[in-house]
Structure 1
Amino acid sequence: MFDSFRKHHKIVMFFLFLLIIPSFVLFGVDRYQGMGQGEMVARVAGADITRPEWDAQHRNEVDRIRQQAPNIDAALLDSDAARYATLERMVRERVLAAAAAKSNMTVSEERLARMFAADPGLASFRTADGKFDRETFMRATGRTPEQYEASVRADLATQQVSLGVSGTAFATPAQAAATLDAFYDRREVQVALFKPADFAAKVNVSDADLQAFYKDHSAQFQQAEQANVQYLVLDLESAKKNIAVSEADLRSYYDQNAGRFGSKEERRASHILIAAPASAPAAEREQARKKADQLLAELRKAPNTFADLARKNSQDPGSAAQGGDLDIVTRGAMVKPFEDVVFTLKKGEISNVVETEFGYHIILVTDIKPAIVPPFDKVRATIENDVRSQQATQEFAKAAEAFTDLVYQQPDSLQPTADKLGLKIQTADHVGRTPAAGATGALASRNFLNALFAPDTLERKHNTEAIEIGANQLASGRVVQFSPARTLPFDEVKDKVRTQLIAERAAALARAEGEAKLAAWKTDAAGASFGAPVTVSRLETQSQPIGVIDVALRADGSKLPALVGADLGAQGYAVVRVIKSVPRTPPPADMAKQENEQFAQAIGAAETMAYYNLLKDRFKAEILVPKPAESALAAGR
C-alpha cells in the first residue's frame, strides 16, 4: 500500500490540492487560523477575548481570593455570576487600555521609580547590598520584573482614563441636601394589614380546581434531573500518603533541625559598652579601646564589681542602669561578634574586649539554660509530616499527571485510578447540575458538575476528565444512574398543589377586601381601623413590609394625611394612612461632612460609569455570552 502511495504521490497531492483550496475559498483563511484557539466570548476594539483566556483569568482570580480567604465557600467563586463578573472586568480593562492608547497616555520613568522605591512589597526582594533579587521575585510572583513593570505601567495609564472623570466630579451642598433629605425621609403612618392567612378558611377548592391548577402550573412541580455519582478527589493530603519516607531520611532531618523541636539554648548576659561607632574617627575609636582595656584590667582584679562599673561607665542607655544586664539572649538576637563570644563563655566568665560596629564591649555571662532537644521517637510523627509536606507539591504534580491519564485511559471505571493512587471512591446520590446548599469539595464545583452532566458522561457513563476544583485539587467522576427532569405525578404533589392554590386564592380575597376597605375609608374614615402610629423610613422599617414603606414615602407630602394602598402579593394587602412627614434630625457636623463626601463619591462613580459606557460604544465592546439569570436569593435582596 505504501509503495503504491509513493509511486503515485503526485496524483494524490493533486487531488488533495483540489479538495483543500476550495475550502479556503468557501470558509476563508481566518476560519482555519481560528480553529483550536477557543470560542470567542467578547470583543473590544476589534480584538477577541476567547473562552480559554476567560477561564485562565477566572482561575487566577479564584486562586488569589482563596489565598486571601481560605474558608470562602467554593460555590460562590465557581458560580456563573462570578465567572461573568470576571469577564466584565476583562472587558473593562481592555476598554480603558484602548482609551489610554488612543489618548497616548504614558507613565514617566520618574513616577515608576518613586512608586517602586516606596513599595514595601518590592523591598523584600532586595538583598543586603541593595540589589534586586530577580530569581526570588520570579519564583514568588510567576512574572519577570519586566512583565511586572509593564503591568504596573498599563494599570497607571488606564487609571488616568478613569481619574479624568471621577477626579473632577463634585456635588454642590444643595444637590447633596436634596438627595440626602429624600433618602432619609421619614413618615408617620398607621397600617391596616389584610393577611391571606385570615382568609384561608373561606377558600374551598375541589379536585377539579386542583387538577386545573396543576395543569396550568406544571412547571412548579418539576423534579430537576438528578444523578447518582461516584467520584475521586486528588489533593495534597492524598499525595502525601504516597510519599515513601525512609527511617534514614527522618533521622537525617532530625539531626539537621534538632533545634526546631525543642527549646534553644538561652544565656543571660551583662555588658559594659564604650561607644565608638564604626564611622567614628580612628583616634576616637582608639581612645574608646583604651578605656575598655582599662575597665577590663580593673575587672580582672575585682570581678564582683562588674555591675558597679557598668552603672558608672557603660554607654548603653538601655542596660547601664541595670548594671549592664541584657536579660535573656538567644542566637540571632545580637550582632555576630557579640553573639559568638556570649555563646562561648562559661557561666561567671568575663570576656576580653569585643569589638563591634557599636564600639567596644566587655561581656559577663551570668546564667546558662541549655537547649532542650526531645528524643527522636517523641517527635517522629511531626518530622514525618514535615518531610511529607516538603515533598507534597512535587508528589502532587506527579500524581496529578497520573490521575489525568488514568481517568482518561480507563474511562469505564474509577477503580484503577483509585487503586493506583491509593484514593477512596466517594459516592453521592441525587446530585443536580448546580451545587446544593451546603455542598463542599467537588460537589460544590460548578465545573465538576458541568462535566458530570456533559452528554458523553451521561450517555456512555464514562469518567469525566480531571477537573480542577481548587488549589492543588483535582476531581473526576462518573454517573452511575441518571434520572432526567420530569413533571411529578399529580398524586405525589396533590398536597403541595392544594397549599399553593389556597394561598393564591386567599391572597386574592385579602387584596379584594383591602381594596374595598380603602375605597370605603376614603369616603368615610369614621369606620377605619388602623394599628398604632409608627414612624418609618428606608432605614427604619419598624418591621413593616417593604411595600408599605414604598407607598408611604411615595405619597405626596403636600397632601397629607392621605390613604394609600399597597399590594403585597403573597403577603396580602395593606391600607396605609400616611399622617405626616417627620423632619430628619440634623446630623452632627462631622457626619454631615462625611455624608456630603459620600454623595460626591457616588456622583463621581455615576459619571465614571456613564463615561465607561460611552467608551464601550466608541471601542465597540461587546460580550457575546448571555448574562446568567439573577438567582432568587439575589433578586430578593
Structure 2
Amino acid sequence: MLQKLREKTSGWIATVILGLLIVPFAFFGVESYMSQQVDTYAARIAQPPSWWKSAPQVWPVTYLWSIHDIDAQVYRERLETMRFNMREQQGDNFDAKAFESVENKRRILDRLIDEQLMKLAADRDGIVISDAEVRDAIQKMPEFQVDGAFNADRYQLLLASQNPPLSPTGFEARIRDSLKNELIPAGIARSAFVTDLEVDRLMRLLGEHRDVSFVTLPPAAPDAAEVTAAQIDAWYAAHKSDYRRPETVRLEYVEVDGSALTATAADEAELRKRYQDQIAKYSSAEKREVSHILIAVAANASAADKKAAEAKAKKLAADAQVPGADFAALARASSDDTGSKANGGDLGWLAKGGMPGAFDDTAFAMKAGEVRGPVKTDFGWHVIKVNDVRAAVQRPFEEVRAELEKEAQEGSRERAFNELTGKLVDAAYKTPTSLEPAAKALGLPLQTTPAFSRAGGPGIAGDAKVLRVAFSDTMLQDGTASDPIELGPERTVLIRVIDHAPEQALPLAQVRDAVVAAIRADRQRKAADAAADALVKAAKAKGLAEAAKDAGLAVGEANDVTRGMPVPSPEAARAFFDEPRPQAGQVPVNKVLVGGQYVVFAVRGVRDADIGQVTPQERATLRQQVSAATGMQAQDAFVRAARAKYSIKVAEDRL
C-alpha cells in the first residue's frame, strides 16, 4: 500500500499540484490560514509602488501596493471634535440630526482622506520642515501671545491645560507635520495670480451699465373654465406627494421657570463674607506701562556670541540712561523683538506675572521713568524702561454692596432652580411613562400642547430644541419622558409624546377643492406664460415699444442700471445682466417672472465701466479676492488629481 502511495505522489502531476500549493503559502504564510484578520479602518488608501506607478490593482500585483488606513477610531475622534466645535459655534441652532447625516459624515471623512493624501504627497516629494520654520509658526499663533508678542510662559501653560496635556516636543511635532502636509497645497493656492488685463476686464464687467426697456404684464385673468372629474383624477395622481397630512405629535410637559422662584434674602454677614471671597474681583492689581529693548540670544549661541550680545545690551542700557535719551528711537533701531520694535519697544500695561521671572521682578521694582538693564531671560538680554505706574485699587464694601446683594439673590434663585429641576428629573425617572406624578409631587402644572408638525407650533413647540427631541426616534417609539431641555437661562422643560400621527396621504375626497384650485392656478400660470411668450415673440419681430403698443401695455425704462441695483426689482435686474449684449443691431428680448407677474424686457445698450475711475485700493482688493478664489480652485484641483493616483475604499458601515 505504501509503495502504491509513493508511486502516485512521485509523478509530474503531483509535482504540479505541490507547486500550486506552494504559491499561496509563499505569499500569505501559514499564519494567514491559522488566524482571522479584522479590519477597523474607516477608509483605506492603496498606493502603487513608486517604481511602477501604473501597476494594476490585481492579484498578485496588489501585494506591491502600500496600504495606508484611516482608523475608525481616528475618524470618530475627528467627528466628535467637529461636533463639539459646531455646538460651540451654533449654540441652540445646532441641528444634531443634520450633523449625523450620511452626507455630513462623508464630508468629514473626505477631509481626513485629503489630509492623508497630502501627507503621502509630502513624503513622496521629500519635504522637510526646519526647526526655525516650526518655531516661527508657533510664535505667530495669537493664542500664545501677550500684547502682540510671543510669551513662553503662556505657551507652556496652554499646552499643559490641554486634555490630555501636551508637551512642547509633541506640539512641535504636530505643527511640523501640519506645515509639511500643507506646504504643497498652500503653495499652489498662494501661487495664483491675476493679470492686469483680467483685472481690467473684471472691473469693466462689474461696473457695467445697461439701458433696458421693460413691460410688466398684468396678472392673467382667474381661470373659470370647467374642471372635469378626469382632470381632477389625473392631477391628484400626478401630485399625490402634495396632498399629504404632515407627521404630528402632541406633548405633555412640565416646565421649571427660575424667574418665578422666590430668592432668599442675604444677611449682612453673608454679604461681607462674599465680599472677602471675591476681593480680587473688586480690586485691580498694580500695573506698569513698560517698554524694552531686546538683544536676542539663541539657545545654541556660542560663548562669544553671548558675550557680544551682553556687551551690546550694556551699551544700549547706558545710552538709554543718559538724561533726555529717546528710548523709543533706540528700540526701533536696535531691538530684536519684532512684536514691539515698531512701537518703540512699548509692551503696554503689564500686571505682575505677565512676563518671564527676571524681567517681571525687575520691572516691578522700578520707579516711573527709570531705565534698568541688561536683564537676562530665555529670550536674551533686555533693557527695561517703566514709563508709568498705576497703583492697585480696591473698591470698598459699601460701594459694591448692591452688586453683592443682587449676586446673592441670583445665586439663591439659581440654587432653588437647580434643586427643583433635579427633583423633577428624579421624579420623572421613577414613572417615565407619565409626567403627571412628578408634576403633582412638586406642585408644578402639567401642561399639554396642541398637535403640531415638524414646522413647529405655539408655545414650547416653537423651540428648535424641543422640536428635535419631540420628533426623535426614541421619543416617538418609547413614549417616555425626555431629558431636561434648556429653553433659556433658568428655564427648563421635560416633555413626553402623548400622541403621534405619522405622515399619510390624504384621500381625494378631502382635498378635491384644493386640487381644483391647483388646476385653475396652473391654467392661470400657463396663460400668463403664453402671454409673455407672445409678447417676447412680437418684440423680437417689431421692437418692444411697438409690441407693447399693440397689446395696450405701457413701456418703462431703466437707464444706466448697474449690477445690484433693484430696478425695477432685484429679480428683474439680475435677469437684465444675464442677457447677452446687443449684436449687430439686434436687441436681446426675454422674460422674467417677478412676484407672480411676468416682465418682458429688451436690453437697448451696454457700456463698460470707466476703469480710470477705479481707485488703486479697489483694484488691489479685487485682485486679492480673485487671486484667492483662483488659488483655492487650483488647490482643490491638486487634491482631486492626487486622489486619482490612489485607490480609496470607504467602509460606509463604520461611519
- Give the gaps of 5 or more residues in structure 1: 1-24, 67-71, 267-278, 285-331, 337-354, 362-368, 627-637
Equivalent residue for 1:358? Answer: 367
Measure, in 1, the Cα distance between the counterparts of 2:351 and 2:167. Answer: 34
Q: How has the CA–CA distance of structure 1 residues 602 and 564 changed in structure 2, closer, same or farther, with 3 Å as cutoff?
A: same
Equivalent residue for 1:605? Answer: 632
Equivalent residue for 1:299? Answer: none
Measure, in 1, the Cα distance between the counterparts of 2:421 and 2:166. Answer: 27
* Alpha-carbon offset, residue 487 of structure 1: 3.3
Equivalent residue for 1:156? Answer: 179
Equivalent residue for 2:464? Answer: 444
* Alpha-carbon offset, residue 595 of structure 1: 1.9
- 103, 108, 114: which one aligns with 2:122: 103
Equivalent residue for 2:346? Answer: none
Which residues in structure 2 correspond to 1:266-345 (within 5 Å)? none
Partner amino acid, structure 2, of 1:109 = D
Equivalent residue for 2:26? Answer: none
Q: How has the CA–CA distance of structure 1 residues 527 and 554 changed in structure 2, closer, same or farther, with 3 Å as cutoff?
A: closer
* Alpha-carbon offset, residue 181 of structure 1: 3.6
Does residue 1:540 correspond to 2:565, yes or no? yes
**Structure 1, residues 151-193: CA drift from partner, whole Å, max 9, x if none?**
4344333331321211111222223334554454443221223
Equivalent residue for 1:192? Answer: 215
CA contact (8 A) 1:561 1:577 kept: no
Equivalent residue for 1:226? Answer: 248
* Alpha-carbon offset, residue 516 of structure 1: 2.2
**Structure 1, residues 75-101: CA drift from partner, whole Å, max 9, x if none?**
355562797567635532541343124
Equivalent residue for 1:453? Answer: 471
Does residue 1:520 correspond to 2:538, yes or no? yes
Measure, in 1, the Cα distance between the counterparts of 2:160 and 2:447. Answer: 39
Measure, in 1, the Cα distance between the counterparts of 2:489 and 2:179. Answer: 30
Equivalent residue for 1:575? Answer: 600
Which residues in structure 2 correspond to 1:369-380 (within 5 Å)? 372-374=396-398
Equivalent residue for 2:406? Answer: 382
Q: How has the CA–CA distance of structure 1 residues 623 and 546 changed in structure 2, closer, same or farther, with 3 Å as cutoff?
A: farther
Measure, in 2, the Cα distance between the counterparts of 1:176 and 1:207. Answer: 61
Equivalent residue for 1:252? Answer: 273
Q: How has the CA–CA distance of structure 1 residues 120 and 47 changed in structure 2, closer, same or farther, with 3 Å as cutoff?
A: closer
CA contact (8 A) 2:563 2:573 kept: no
- 89, 94, 113: which one aligns with 2:135: 113
Deviates more, 1:567-576 or 1:98-107: 567-576
Does residue 1:173 correspond to 2:196, yes or no? yes
Q: How has the CA–CA distance of structure 1 residues 485 and 614 changed in structure 2, closer, same or farther, with 3 Å as cutoff?
A: same
Which residues in structure 2 correspond to 1:50-89 (within 5 Å)? 52-53=76-77, 55-65=79-89, 74-75=92-93, 78=96, 80=98, 88-89=107-108
* Alpha-carbon offset, residue 606 of structure 1: 1.5
* Alpha-carbon offset, residue 226 of structure 1: 0.9
Partner amino acid, structure 1, of 2:565 = E
Equivalent residue for 2:345? Answer: none
CA contact (8 A) 2:253 2:495 kept: yes
Which residues in structure 2 correspond to 1:431-580 (within 5 Å)? 431-433=452-454, 436=456, 443-445=463-465, 449=467, 452-464=470-482, 477-488=495-506, 493=511, 496-525=514-543, 527-529=546-548, 531-535=555-559, 536-544=561-569, 546=571, 549-550=574-575, 553-566=578-591, 568=593, 571-580=596-605
Measure, in 1, the Cα distance between the counterparts of 2:273 and 2:437. Answer: 36
- Give the gaps of 5 or more residues in structure 2: 1-31, 46-67, 287-312, 319-348, 354-363, 371-392, 549-553
* Alpha-carbon offset, residue 504 of structure 1: 1.8
Give the TM-score normalised by the residue count of structure 2.
0.58
Measure, in 2, the Cα distance between the counterparts of 1:588 and 1:476. Answer: 60
SS in structure 1 of the partner of residue 534 of structure 2: helix
Q: How has the CA–CA distance of structure 1 residues 106 and 569 changed in structure 2, closer, same or farther, with 3 Å as cutoff?
A: same
Give the TM-score normalised by the residue count of structure 1.
0.59
Q: How has the CA–CA distance of structure 1 residues 96 and 90 changed in structure 2, closer, same or farther, with 3 Å as cutoff?
A: same
CA RMSD of aligned residues (A): 5.7
Measure, in 1, the Cα distance between the counterparts of 2:505 and 2:435. Answer: 33
Measure, in 2, the Cα distance between the counterparts of 1:564 and 1:518. Answer: 6
SS in structure 2 of the partner of residue 581 of structure 1: strand
SS in structure 2 of the partner of residue 411 of structure 1: coil
Measure, in 1, the Cα distance between the counterparts of 2:413 and 2:642. Answer: 50
CA contact (8 A) 1:184 1:538 kept: yes
SS in structure 1 of the partner of residue 397 of structure 2: coil
Measure, in 1, the Cα distance between the counterparts of 2:351 and 2:198. Answer: 62
Which residues in structure 2 correspond to 1:202-221 (within 5 Å)? 202-206=223-227, 208=229, 209=231, 212-221=234-243
**Structure 1, residues 381-412: CA drift from partner, whole Å, max 9, x if none?**
435357669999xx98x999999988667532
CA contact (8 A) 1:54 1:86 kept: no
Measure, in 2, the Cα distance between the counterparts of 1:116 and 1:476. Answer: 47
**Structure 1, residues 520-572: CA drift from partner, whole Å, max 9, x if none?**
34334473226232244543351346367436643353234424233639835
- 412, 417, 422: which one aligns with 2:433: 412
How many residues are treated as equivalent by the alignment?
A: 492
* Alpha-carbon offset, residue 597 of structure 1: 2.8
CA contact (8 A) 1:414 1:463 kept: yes
Measure, in 1, the Cα distance between the counterparts of 2:394 and 2:581. Answer: 84
Equivalent residue for 1:16? Answer: none
Q: How has the CA–CA distance of structure 1 residues 243 and 554 changed in structure 2, closer, same or farther, with 3 Å as cutoff?
A: same
Measure, in 2, the Cα distance between the counterparts of 1:414 and 1:43. Answer: 49
Measure, in 1, the Cα distance between the counterparts of 2:200 and 2:579. Answer: 18
Equivalent residue for 2:12? Answer: none
**Structure 1, residues 418-468: CA drift from partner, whole Å, max 9, x if none?**
7899998675443444x64999899413xx755543555324413356789
Measure, in 1, the Cα distance between the counterparts of 2:593 and 2:640. Answer: 36
Equivalent residue for 1:588? Answer: 614
Q: How has the CA–CA distance of structure 1 residues 522 and 123 changed in structure 2, closer, same or farther, with 3 Å as cutoff?
A: closer
Partner amino acid, structure 2, of 1:227 = V
* Alpha-carbon offset, residue 509 of structure 1: 0.8
Measure, in 1, the Cα distance between the counterparts of 2:195 and 2:400. Answer: 74
SS in structure 1 of the partner of residue 556 of structure 2: coil
Q: How has the CA–CA distance of structure 1 residues 141 and 86 changed in structure 2, closer, same or farther, with 3 Å as cutoff?
A: farther
